[in-house]
Structure 1
Amino acid sequence: MSVDDRTPRAVPQGRLGRMLRIGGLASGIGGRALAQGVRQLATGQRPRAPDLFLTPANAARLAGQLAQMRGAAMKLGQLVSMEAGDFLPPELTEIMARLRSDADPMPPKQLQRVLDAAWGPGWLARFERFQVRPIAAASIGQVHRARTKDGRDLAIKVQYPGVRSSIDSDIDNLGLLLRVPGLVPQGVDLPALMAEAREQLHAEADYRREARQMRLYRANLRGRDEFLLPTPDDEFSTEDVLAMDFIEARPIETLAEAPADQRDRAATHLARLVIEELFRFDLMQTDPNFANFHWQPDPARADGGRIVLLDFGATRGFSPQVAPRYLALLRAALAGDRDGVREAAIRIGYFREETDPDHQRALLDMMEVAFTPLRRGGMMDLARTDIPQRVADLAMDLARKRSRAEMPPPEILFLHRKIGGLYLLLARLRARVDLDALIRPDDLDRMLAERGA
């Protein structure tokens, strides 16, 4: 569902009001579970807590309320959905996926109050045109298009009111809700996820930080004209508003109908960028939402156009050991060294030394499948390979056999989120990439050496 199809809903403000909403949500879920349990007992069944709490109705209620609340509530829901997705039934995964799409926009009156506070009353006189209906809406804010009196086209991201001040209380209150039996699989490290969500939300709600990250990212790509990034506009940017030049471009998915060589070049640019984000820049835009990538056609260019990169609120670095450990994992996998893969996987945090041996073997088997294309090399057709489906099937089989989930460190989840999103995007583009040209361990080693890692 696009933002144009969503009904504007006021963002709940104030700690008490948001806490009451979460409390009401917990009560509703608990009431539904109790009623279902009574019905099962009446028919002689023995109810199980996960079956009572983790139902499609409860997931739909949870996703709907979190999407309306936006802010930390929605972000924590996104993280839980991201972490637990392989362990949830398909019906619930589909419902929770709403938290990774557009949010409900705020009503025009609430928007005006936010902009009055940021720019002062009468701000509309500074614009030739201001589009009230947002062109995008996410967990932290929504984006509007405008033209200034001097003819500048701007994209203006407006933060939802109360998001910044409610982050800590939202995380604490949602932590209590998500401890309801069955809502989150056993073994998911909720405290770590909550801490990561708290840090991520404070970073994303800092629009001045996002402007700095945008400029830093631009500096990393200096001289790389295959990419185009917006420039922050300091005149209209405040703590709650981030203005930048508007870049005329199409959704990246429109490339799916382009000639094959154009699709393959764009896919190679995107895949190489993710590699450089991890190994060269230590600066990754971790939100792989397709809306953050656009395509600007240019018939004068040999590659047919440029890739537009948007939204740098989720841009982050990683712990110093992450990239070197992934390089060690890659070298071992390419060499067919299963013991080396196991050692690297433990150091990254996929499992522990004392993890059940059968569970370790299952995870190593999944890695073996995932790394098969890299060892084979050559061109990989991402739209036709069955590797991701085979890995997903192994993950679901593992989840059915194991009562507890094991999760890597939260920062690794963000890395997986980006890599998984990249695969989905390239598959959507029906693109091929040359693995031999992209994945060269010696090149990655040089990147780490150049940045001093």
Structure 2
Amino acid sequence: MDVSDKMDRKGEIKVPKLDSNCKQRSVTSSRLGRAVQFTSLFAGLTLGTASEYTKSLFGWSDATDMQSAMLSPQNMERIVDKLCQLRGAALKLGQVISMQDPKTISPQLIEIFDRVRQSADYMPDSQVMKIMCDQFGNEWQTKFKAFDDKPFAAASIGQVHCGILHNDVDVAIKIQYLDISKSIESDLNNLIGMLRFFNLFPPGAFIDDVIEKLKRELAWEVDYLREGDFQTKYRDLIVAHHEFYVPKVYDELTTTCVLTTELVSGITVDKCFELDYEHRQFIGMSLLKLVFIELFEMKCMQPDSNWSNYLYEQKSKRIMLLDFGASRFYSDEFINNYKEFLRASVADDRDKLYELLIKMKFLTEDDSEVLVEAHMNAAMMFGEIFRNDGDFDFGEENLSERLSVEVAKMIEQRMSPPPEEVYSINRKISGIVSLCSKLNIKINCRQIYNEIIERT
């Protein structure tokens, strides 16, 4: 039954449709089968690179070296198609890379992974049936009044179907790709090995450390019971802030591989750039405020700034918060230190800031002057947002670009990885700052600072 069309006709709930580029393809679940897929991709890229470089010798191609030859349009299509087919950890890494700044990661690589961010393939009915039978028994369909066989969303770890419960509640059923949890480590190792071979990571990126953090996050994300539990806790914590809404989790229809929640409506925030200014400002101000509510009130964070995790409902002026798989809590010690760090940056207190950067292990006393200066500059730039009691113009101040220059220096100069907690926090903050810039808005950020930082 096509539940999504039925819902549209009712005019009650409208859900997005899959990207037209998505295909129905079986998930290759065995480790050997996935290794073969990566091997075929590597072979295709190698041949494509050699061909492109050879053409350049005769003036038939714009490639100037082996790296640019590797990133030819034909090779980009090979990578996009294969990652959409494989899904899982490889696609997740691609999503993370796609949110980075072109000054720190190859812009061509970002372009590749940006194209796969919303274009994962989806499982055939036979694999969906196998998973649902394994999780709920052969009569699983009796648990729903209706279930839409075709998903309305497909991402790195799972796909999402519409359903209706017997009490007429509309639900979203997230179903994990078949055996995808077993392929995390091997997939990441295969993809990283391939990207390293083609020299696509800048020196000093500490990619091994990033991968270890990503493996841990992915282990969390493939445990839907953990995600459902965190989503319920987060929902209880955020309830006082009425501009946000977290869908209810239905525990009786949730397992390690299936997560059933209330179905909510809205448009993803990356589709809001042409809305009226009032709506754009509300979105940016609310999400910037959310970062500090999470850190200093709730002491936990949903760190994935993928735009599809935020739906804006214009009528109610509320932001729906989705996808809590990688969420985590932070220790009181870290939060207290981070608050002092923010206060020092806002106060332009460089001596205090340096002391805190050492204390929090952002820096060591043996680090180069260039690295120290890059950290100080980046902190001061972030403090600019909150320093003055007036509107900060995200559209004009090019903050993201200025910060990315300092981040590039950090990557080049760093001798040891930064604290574990900052990976998730920096990913969230940089994503929200970038969003505010794209929304082209002005916000009185000092007001947010006084309301949350000084009050907690």
Per the shorter chain, which TM-score range? 0.7 to 0.9
Is residue 207–residue 238 contact of structure 1 (8 Å, CA) maintained in 2?
yes
**Equivalent residue runs for 1:237-386 within 5 Å:** 237-252=254-269, 260-261=277-278, 263-298=280-315, 304-318=316-330, 320-386=332-398
Q: Which has the higher mean CA deviation after the structures are superposed, 75-84 or 214-223? A: 75-84
Question: What does residue 9 of structure 2 align with?
Answer: none
Question: What does residue 32 of structure 2 align with?
Answer: 16
Q: How far is 1:75 from its partner?
A: 1.9
Secondary structure at the residue paired with 1:225? coil
Secondary structure at the residue paired with 1:295? strand
Q: How far is 1:172 from its partner?
A: 3.7
Q: What is the TM-score when the length of structure 2 is the normalising length?
A: 0.82
Question: What does residue 423 of structure 1 align with?
Answer: 433
Q: Which has the higher mean CA deviation after the structures are superposed, 34-43 or 224-233? A: 34-43
Question: What does residue 221 of structure 1 align with?
Answer: 238
Spell out, residue by residue over 1:75-95, the C-alpha distance to the aligned partner (whole angstroms, 9 max, x if none): 233345556753234333222
Question: What does residue 301 of structure 1 align with?
Answer: none
Consecutive unaligned residues of structure 1, counting only runs of 5 or more, are 299-303, 448-453
Q: How far is 1:264 from its partner?
A: 3.7
Rate the CA distance shift 1:343–1:51 in 2: closer, same or farther, 3 A.
farther
Secondary structure at the residue paired with 2:292? helix
Question: What does residue 134 of structure 1 align with?
Answer: 151
Q: How far is 1:230 from its partner?
A: 1.1
Tell me how far apart the structure 1 counterparts of residues 270 and 303 of structure 2 sit (CA, whole Å): 19
Rate the CA distance shift 1:88–1:171 in 2: closer, same or farther, 3 A.
closer
The AA in structure 1 aligned to 2:42 is: A
The AA in structure 2 aligned to 1:3 is: L
Tell me how far apart the structure 2 counterparts of residues 245 and 259 of structure 1 sit (CA, whole Å): 28
Is residue 293–residue 452 contact of structure 2 (8 Å, CA) maintained in 1?
no
Tell me how far apart the structure 2 counterparts of residues 431 and 417 of structure 1 sit (CA, whole Å): 21
Secondary structure at the residue paired with 2:178? coil
Question: What does residue 451 of structure 1 align with?
Answer: none
Spell out, residue by residue over 1:277-321, the C-alpha distance to the aligned partner (whole angstroms, 9 max, x if none): 1122121111112222223345xxxxx532221121121123554
Tell me how far apart the structure 2 counterparts of residues 31 and 255 of structure 1 sit (CA, whole Å): 41
Question: What does residue 158 of structure 1 align with?
Answer: 175
Rate the CA distance shift 1:34–1:158 in 2: closer, same or farther, 3 A.
same
Question: What does residue 4 of structure 1 align with?
Answer: 19
Q: How far is 1:125 from its partner?
A: 4.6
Secondary structure at the residue paired with 2:253? coil
Question: What does residue 108 of structure 1 align with?
Answer: 125
Tell me how far apart the structure 2 counterparts of residues 313 and 144 of structure 1 sit (CA, whole Å): 18
Rate the CA distance shift 1:112–1:40 in 2: closer, same or farther, 3 A.
same
Q: How far is 1:232 from its partner?
A: 1.1
- 1:209 equivalent in alignment to 2:204: no
Tell me how far apart the structure 2 counterparts of residues 376 and 79 of structure 1 sit (CA, whole Å): 33
The AA in structure 1 aligned to 2:108 is: E
The AA in structure 2 aligned to 1:358 is: V
Q: How far is 1:200 from its partner?
A: 0.8
Spell out, residue by residue over 1:123-148, the C-alpha distance to the aligned partner (whole angstroms, 9 max, x if none): 34543432222221111111111113
Rate the CA distance shift 1:368–1:140 in 2: closer, same or farther, 3 A.
same
Question: What does residue 192 of structure 1 align with?
Answer: 209
Is residue 333–residue 368 contact of structure 1 (8 Å, CA) maintained in 2?
yes
Rate the CA distance shift 1:250–1:83 in 2: closer, same or farther, 3 A.
closer
> Which of 419, 424, 429 is residue 414 of structure 1 equivalent to?
424
Q: Which has the higher mean CA deviation after the structures are superposed, 288-297 or 347-356? A: 347-356
Secondary structure at the residue paired with 1:86? coil
Q: Which has the higher mean CA deviation after the structures are superposed, 138-147 or 222-231? A: 222-231
Seq. identity, %:
31
Is residue 292–residue 310 contact of structure 1 (8 Å, CA) maintained in 2?
yes
Rate the CA distance shift 1:362–1:274 in 2: closer, same or farther, 3 A.
closer
Tell me how far apart the structure 1 counterparts of residues 270 and 394 of structure 2 sit (CA, whole Å): 15
Spell out, residue by residue over 1:161-203, the C-alpha distance to the aligned partner (whole angstroms, 9 max, x if none): 0111222332343443343250322222232122212111110
Secondary structure at the residue paired with 1:235? helix
Question: What does residue 450 of structure 1 align with?
Answer: none
Q: How many aligned positions are there?
A: 436
> Which of 421, 444, 448 is residue 453 of structure 2 equivalent to?
444
The AA in structure 2 aligned to 1:383 is: G
Tell me how far apart the structure 1 counterparts of residues 27 and 172 of structure 2 sit (CA, whole Å): 21
Rate the CA distance shift 1:225–1:89 in 2: closer, same or farther, 3 A.
closer
Tell me how far apart the structure 1 counterparts of residues 121 and 383 of structure 2 sit (CA, whole Å): 39
Q: How far is 1:221 from its partner?
A: 1.7
Is residue 354–residue 376 contact of structure 2 (8 Å, CA) maintained in 1?
yes
Is residue 188–residue 405 contact of structure 1 (8 Å, CA) maintained in 2?
no
Q: How far is 1:349 from its partner?
A: 4.7
Question: What does residue 389 of structure 1 align with?
Answer: 401
